[in-house]
Structure 1
Amino acid sequence: MKTILVVDDDEHIRHLVKGLLTKEGYIVLAAGNGAEALEILTKELCDLAIVDIMMPVMDGYRLTSEIRKSYDIPIILLTAKSQIEDKEKGYESGTDDYLIKPFERKELIFRVNALLRRYGKTSEANVNLGSLYINKKSYEVKITNKTFVLPLKEFELLTFLATHPNQVFSRGHLIEKIWGLDFEGDERTVDVHVKRLRERFTNVAEDFAIKTIRGVGYSLEVL
């Protein structure tokens, strides 16, 4: 079951959108401003965000940019603004779609469903690869009968690699996916996190390993 984050300072809109999406079978989390939304995202794995532009504390453009730094989820900007300049700013901040209020209820559902299909999100929140089991909701990693609770970036890196087994990713690609385009550190950050993951799983993981592909990057290989 997919989880959608609705961010709007208008309680009526939050209630309306939550009701529509709940009827469609989605789990819906709601936030009244950008700061609350970012706090939720550190604790809950969301599959899509619906973000209002005109909000106090942090407007929708900035929130969209902040989400893009750390999370690879589709975003719909929900707004009363209809000028082309506003749409341009929205897309530049990283939104995937743009819906003008007042909106048709069916149109919102159509757009949500289309974006989730486009992003290829699965209905399950977990990754199961041999002895490796990743619970995206609880942020727990289980290998055989041993449970690990990882720091967020280590968890996201492992999850990304495990979701694409036997595929090789450059350090730059991993930086973009896990830390975001605005990350100001260098690619050695990836090396450090891979080293930590390997140390955690030494003598525990027998049927998978994070391999270094010389001159290219890393791959989680099934043994």
Structure 2
Amino acid sequence: MRILIIEDELKMASYLKKGLTEASFTVEIAANGKDGLFLALHENFDLIVLDVMLPELDGLEVLKRLRMEKQIPVLLLTARDTVEDKVAGLESGADDYLSKPFAYAEFLARIRSLIRRAPRIVSEVLSVGDLEIDLVKRRSRRGGARIDLTAQEFALLQLLAERQGEVLTRTFVTSQIWDMNFDSDTNVVDVAVKRLRAKIDNPFENKLLHTVRGMGYVLEDRT
């Protein structure tokens, strides 16, 4: 999923980008309001992190112009924390508001909450190579043969399929499947992936579920 950070404090922007990248997000940065608005209007993002005090075009003006064209979830970041400032931001179209300084854990939790709340348009049937995942009937098939999965295995497969081609870290997978932040050294994800791989990959010549050493897992057809 793609996130745009519009922030003129480069140290802050780099810090947030590093954390979000480690959480399996793809991140772009704009250092002023004018460039940020251009990117927001001409590229596709799943969420925007927007500072209020920006050069060239302030954050509230960026937000107002953006809302005339698109309805993308927006998290406002600002050093202003009065009730009046928060009301102004929310009435301008922000979906959430976070005052500086803030803890990164809270920032990430708010990002994930906004993404979960945002409406998503997905196909009823996802396909990766000859693997098909029916999201309505909660069934999966490969090469025409039905594959029986547990509820947890299906949830993991759906997560990987919806983001096929993207490397998902173990931390991201645990937060999405178990709704918890496990220690990064835990093998809970490795065990779950091993069980899923035994069903969707091991009986077949073409492997779809790949391990990316030091990063995580990706589901894709590499033929």
Which residue pairs with 1:116 in the alignment?
115
Which residue pairs with 2:25 in the alignment?
26
Aligned-partner SS, 1:63: helix
- Identity of paired residues, percent? 36
Question: Could you report, residue by residue, the CA deviation over 1:184-220 in whole angstroms, capped at 9, with x for unpaired residues?
Answer: xxxxxxxxxxxxxxxxxxxxxxxxxxxxxxxxxxxxx
Which residue pairs with 1:46 in the alignment?
45
Aligned-partner SS, 2:68: helix
Q: Are the structure 2 counterparts of residues 122 and 3 from structure 1 closer, same or farther at C-alpha, using a change threshold of 3 Å?
A: farther
Counterpart of 2:107, as a letter, is L
Counterpart of 2:91, as a letter, is E
Give runs of ≥4 in structure 1 deviating > 6 Å. Answer: none
Deviation of residue 120 (structure 1)? 2.7
Any conservation in 1 of the 2:78–2:99 contact (CA below 8 Å)? yes
Any conservation in 2 of the 1:47–1:121 contact (CA below 8 Å)? no
Gaps of 5+ in 2: 128-223
Which residue pairs with 1:3 in the alignment?
2
Deviation of residue 112 (structure 1)? 0.5
Which residue pairs with 1:13 in the alignment?
12
Output the TM-score relative to the length of structure 1.
0.53
Query: Which residues of 2 match residues 40-189 of structure 1 at below 5 A?
Result: 40-121=39-120
Report how many residues are paired. 125
Q: Are the structure 2 counterparts of residues 89 and 42 from structure 1 closer, same or farther at C-alpha, using a change threshold of 3 Å?
A: closer
Any conservation in 1 of the 2:41–2:69 contact (CA below 8 Å)? no
Deviation of residue 123 (structure 1)? 8.2
Question: Could you report, residue by residue, the CA deviation over 1:26-58 in whole angstroms, capped at 9, with x for unpaired residues?
Answer: 000100111111221243200100000111111
Counterpart of 1:118, as a letter, is R
Gaps of 5+ in 1: 129-223
Counterpart-to-counterpart distance in 2, 1:122 and 1:17:
27
Counterpart-to-counterpart distance in 2, 1:123 and 1:16:
31
Question: Could you report, residue by residue, the CA deviation over 1:120-145 in whole angstroms, capped at 9, with x for unpaired residues?
Answer: 33689xx99xxxxxxxxxxxxxxxxx
Q: Are the structure 2 counterparts of residues 104 and 34 from structure 1 closer, same or farther at C-alpha, using a change threshold of 3 Å?
A: same
Counterpart-to-counterpart distance in 2, 1:85 and 1:43:
31
Any conservation in 2 of the 1:77–1:97 contact (CA below 8 Å)? yes
Output the TM-score relative to the length of structure 2.
0.53
